[in-house]
Structure 1
Amino acid sequence: MKKILLYSTLLGALLFFNSCNEDELNLTSPNDLPADQFWKSPTDAEKGVNAIYAMFYKDGLWARWMYFRMDLTSDEGFSKSPWAELADWTRFNYVNYNFWEGNSVTFRDSYKAIFRCNQVLTNVPDIEFTDAARKESILAEAKFMRAVHYFYAAELWENIPLVLEPSEPTDRPAQNTKEEVFAQVEKDLNEAFAALPLSWDINNTGRPTKGAAKGFLAKLYMQQHRWNDAKLAMDFLISGEGAQYSLVSNYKDNFTAANENNTESVFEIQFSGERLGGTGEDANAAMSNSRQQFFAPRSIGWSDGQARNWLIGAFKEEPNQNGGIDERLRHTLFYPQLQADFGDLTYGRTWQWGTDEAWFRKGARDYYRNNEDYYAEVNYRLVRYADILLMYAEALNELGQTADAYQYVDMVRTRAKMVSLATAHPEIGNNHDSFLARLKKERVLELCGESVRWLDLKRWGDLDTQAAVDVIAQRDPDFNNFIVGKSIRLPLPQSEVDNNPNLTQNHGY
């Protein structure tokens, strides 16, 4: 079965922050099963863990607005949406901290997902299972998912509450540091790894594996500059027990609905166009991705998100083995010269763009239709093996093993029909700084528009000094608004700060 049908059957997912009248929260729906009557059987446990996956389909997370945070805020993307407040939230002009689409809904849905994880982790241990291994894997899935949501929340807001029990409307949780949250992410991922399988059968495609746990541990350690720990996590994927991954021959297969969950996929979100509802909790709620409706060129979608034009030049700096343009460009961006460069305008689309414009192509459905909508079925690869290989090279370089790092970059370049790194750039040698500078470009060429660039900029320290930010601003003028020490994190929604005396607004806001 191509997709797992995930049903959100949990009794109202309460946020732990009190933003409603308590009398309203105490009302009982005659159609919902109270918590004390649920969580009785393994079937309840299955429903509970499946409800966690359903959070991927909410607009505050990976169905829509997360991409505005992860892609457009970085120097790869921007917005010139006529919706000025939305565009401002991609260029560090944060005025209304309660802006729903830019901040509050992602915060809410992150904690809604965490609440569902906490429900499973609190209630499932008391349920009797005849299959003890399945019980443990359900708990492992919940730990993995809690770790994933806390990882991204900590990178976005940094100083957030760490809640590990099902919350109540009257709770006022304490604020934790990013380091404290990351410590819990590490704990959850390690415990999840111990109980997750190496693979699932076809009916459970999309659930996390041991490899997915190690992949996110690698991301976590990389962000913390724990290079040896990151290397050890990736050893499992590259040469250890979990070495079951490889690069697919067709780069495009990572960004369409064809050949999903392939050998390059470490963890991907299972999107589907089978239901055409909204993003609520009703039975017809969508399981789809609306990213491309907002990121597609004018006349195809809303074009609220665009790619920076400098990316096109980056792809054209170095010819491939045949003397032509890096083939990854054609699958990464829409841009005015696409047809001249590759003959790639399909399905009779009417394109409307300026000479200096570009849009993200990954995830688009131009290979079989001439428009986008809110119901894209294309899976989103949160971690793929190419990312692992390039992170591994980065970790080796940081550990003083630059000479050994080349081969992992070359695995990615070879798939793209580029000559070896040493041949193309002999000036790098074994110089740490030169290798890192080149690796930054390699990650753009391979991973552009895949929600990794913001994390990369933070990890590299490129947002920590005014001099470094000034360099970024030369290719992305939105960074002229970036304030060092402040803009590296989002403001907490002000309503959360106002309702919880244990919260302090992030520094500078």
Structure 2
Amino acid sequence: MKKITSIIILTIVLTLNYGCKKSLLDQNNPNTITVEQFWKTESDAKKGINAAYAMFYQNGVWNRWIYFRLDLTSDEGWSNSPWVELGDWTRFQYINYNFWEGNVNSYRDTYKAIFRCNQVLTYVPAIQFADEKKKTEILAQAKFLRGLYYYYAAILWENFPIVTELQNPVDLPQKSSLAQVWAQVEKDLSEASAGLPEQWTGAELGRATKGAAQALLGKAFMQQRKWNEAKTAFDYLVTGAGRANYDLVANYQDNFRAENENNRESVFEIQFSDANKTGEGDGPNANMGSNRSQFFAPRSVGWSDGQARFWMVSEFKKEKTTTNQTDPRLRYTLFYPGLEADFGDKTYGRSWQWGADEAWFKKYSRDYMRTNEDYFNQVNNRLIRYADVLLMYAEALNELGQTTEAYQYVNRVRARAKMATLSVAYPAIGTDKDLFRERLKIERVLELCGESVRFADLKRWGELDTQAGVAKVALRDPDFRNFVVGKSIRLPLPEVEVSNNPNLVQNPNY
């Protein structure tokens, strides 16, 4: 699919022309394809869905700023950026609700992505296909991508206005509740799952699959604590028909490098490329890489706007492997002062030159191939991987009172890191659901640190619902001292949106 992305921009510049009377000031641009001219062929339909995938390369979402929201605002990360307002938005100090990099850009790009999905869902049904199955697959991909963006909107803003039809410039979307957003996610992903193939091959590799839809649907149910529904969604990948397509790869580091992408552990990943070393945007040669490592790399390597909390280094070292070694996942997860002594690895080819208590995110970095970072990181982001599914499946089973059954799925993840089985390492857990849940919280951070899942985890576990819970998180991350229960759990809606739309209501306590 990386090869496809170089031509997907064609439909991005499409503009919807709505009913005003023609005048000298209302003329079609002869250099731009209109809606009436487009959406006629199978090729147009495929370009349309590719344009929806292309939104991953926009600054507001997976190219850059969403990592500040999901990784740095969790207790895994923080910001010491000299750009004070940017740092404040990772410390729950939201003053200007219209701050572009912290809020408006991500909000706008989320809606742009949803708009492109809505274009496909509006126009493609009327296009004639030689093979109707291909039409079904394109429509299902649009529903998957729309469901994905609404999933993250629910995590970030919660009460995010739902738009499922193409809008006129004067339309004013109605406010939506978090429950309504989740219902939309469930609907989109359920319908997507029914129309998506189990696998793609060749140049199509990397597109959404049935397993990706089921996994994201399960994650949506988990956030609502619908444990039985979550288990049922995950069944397809873990015990059902789709399990033959997924497994853990032998080498943990293969999940975060440019080699061995779209492997059996990958349930869904963003197809990044360094083919175009240009700026981000909607042009045909726009950047298709990730900026994350440039912003999260150590000082003198990148911009160092995002760092990792040091408590995770200590957590990794609390338990040795069965051969009395340091947990090997630490080697590929974090840069930290003892990396060279513990594993013989230098940080971007240099011995440690940063603070004794500093750490940096290593996943998706290119330290193994170069000594600095830039804006064109080609390493695919494994947005959902099978280890996450297995740990969530175990969590759902535990919440359903099936703790004994849940052990095996945690043990599969631990075994790759050469850690003892859970019952051997922590026999006191037994069948105690609460103790199992507490241990699973640690297992998830050891396996998934820096993979943009932690903030959703904290929300799902209810750790941000009470002052006592937030106080415990603040022991690991002092930024949570600024966290206001009932407010900071969600972002404010951009003030410009609320001011311009009388149907919207600002999020609670803002």
Using the TM superposition, name which of 350-359 and 241-250 deviates more: 350-359
* Cα distance between partner residues in 1 of 2:11 and 2:487: 38
Question: What displacement does 1:131 show?
Answer: 1.1
Question: What displacement does 1:30 show?
Answer: 3.4
Alignment of 1:235-314 (within 5 A): 235-243=235-243, 244-314=245-315
User: What letter matches 2:485 in structure 1?
Assistant: V
* Cα distance between partner residues in 1 of 2:169 and 2:266: 38
Alignment of 1:44-59 (within 5 A): 44-59=44-59
SS in 2 for 1:125: helix
Alignment of 1:104-503 (within 5 A): 104-243=104-243, 244-345=245-346, 348-349=349-350, 351-503=352-504
Q: 1:347 to 1:226 in 2, by over 3 A?
A: closer
TM-score by length of 2: 0.96
SS in 1 for 2:304: coil
* Cα distance between partner residues in 1 of 2:274 and 2:382: 17
Using the TM superposition, name which of 176-185 and 51-60 deviates more: 176-185
Check the 8 A contact 1:11/1:32 in 2, yes or no: no
Q: 1:400 to 1:2 in 2, by over 3 A?
A: same
Cα displacement string for residues 142-173 of structure 1 (whole angstroms, at most 9, x for unaligned residues): 00000000110111101111101112211101
User: What letter matches 2:284 in structure 1?
Assistant: A
Question: What displacement does 1:284 show?
Answer: 1.3
Alignment partner of 1:88 is 2:91: no
Cα displacement string for residues 409-439 of structure 1 (whole angstroms, at most 9, x for unaligned residues): 0000000010110000001010011000000
User: What letter matches 2:291 in structure 1?
Assistant: S
Cα displacement string for residues 384-404 of structure 1 (whole angstroms, at most 9, x for unaligned residues): 000000001100000000011
Q: 1:40 to 1:2 in 2, by over 3 A?
A: closer
* Cα distance between partner residues in 2 of 1:307 and 1:138: 39
SS in 1 for 2:5: coil
* Cα distance between partner residues in 2 of 1:444 and 1:11: 38
* Cα distance between partner residues in 2 of 1:3 and 1:430: 49
User: What letter matches 1:43 in structure 2?
Assistant: S
Q: 1:471 to 1:27 in 2, by over 3 A?
A: farther
Using the TM superposition, name which of 428-437 and 159-168 deviates more: 159-168
* Cα distance between partner residues in 2 of 1:266 and 1:3: 20
* Cα distance between partner residues in 2 of 1:381 and 1:358: 22
* Cα distance between partner residues in 2 of 1:26 and 1:498: 28
Q: 1:298 to 1:31 in 2, by over 3 A?
A: same
Question: What displacement does 1:281 show?
Answer: 1.0
Tell me which residue corresponds to 2:20.
Answer: none
* Cα distance between partner residues in 1 of 2:54 and 2:81: 29
Cα displacement string for residues 8-38 of structure 1 (whole angstroms, at most 9, x for unaligned residues): 22254679xxxxxxx9x97754322111221
| Residue-pair matches, total | 502
RMSD between aligned residues? 1.6
Check the 8 A contact 2:14/2:33 in 1, yes or no: no
Cα displacement string for residues 72-125 of structure 1 (whole angstroms, at most 9, x for unaligned residues): 000000001000000000000000000000000000000000000000000000
Check the 8 A contact 1:14/1:112 in 2, yes or no: no
Question: What displacement does 1:347 show?
Answer: 5.6
SS in 2 for 1:8: helix
Tell me which residue corresponds to 2:505.
Answer: 504
SS in 2 for 1:348: coil
Check the 8 A contact 1:65/1:101 in 2, yes or no: yes
Cα displacement string for residues 311-330 of structure 1 (whole angstroms, at most 9, x for unaligned residues): 00000011111111100001
Alignment partner of 1:63 is 2:63: yes
Using the TM superposition, name which of 32-41 and 295-304 deviates more: 32-41
Where structure 1 has 5 or more consecutive residues not aligned to the other structure, the ranges are 16-22
* Cα distance between partner residues in 2 of 1:436 and 1:11: 45
Q: 1:40 to 1:358 in 2, by over 3 A?
A: same
Identity %: 62
SS in 2 for 1:169: coil
* Cα distance between partner residues in 2 of 1:13 and 1:494: 28
* Cα distance between partner residues in 2 of 1:2 and 1:506: 38
TM-score by length of 1: 0.96
Check the 8 A contact 1:297/1:351 in 2, yes or no: no
Q: 1:11 to 1:257 in 2, by over 3 A?
A: closer
Cα displacement string for residues 463-498 of structure 1 (whole angstroms, at most 9, x for unaligned residues): 000000000001100000000000000000000011
Check the 8 A contact 1:211/1:237 in 2, yes or no: yes
* Cα distance between partner residues in 2 of 1:315 and 1:277: 38
Check the 8 A contact 2:15/2:35 in 1, yes or no: no
User: What letter matches 2:137 in structure 1?
Assistant: S
User: What letter matches 1:177 in structure 2?
Assistant: S
SS in 1 for 2:268: strand
* Cα distance between partner residues in 1 of 2:53 and 2:422: 40
User: What letter matches 2:499 in structure 1?
Assistant: D
User: What letter matches 1:178 in structure 2?
Assistant: L
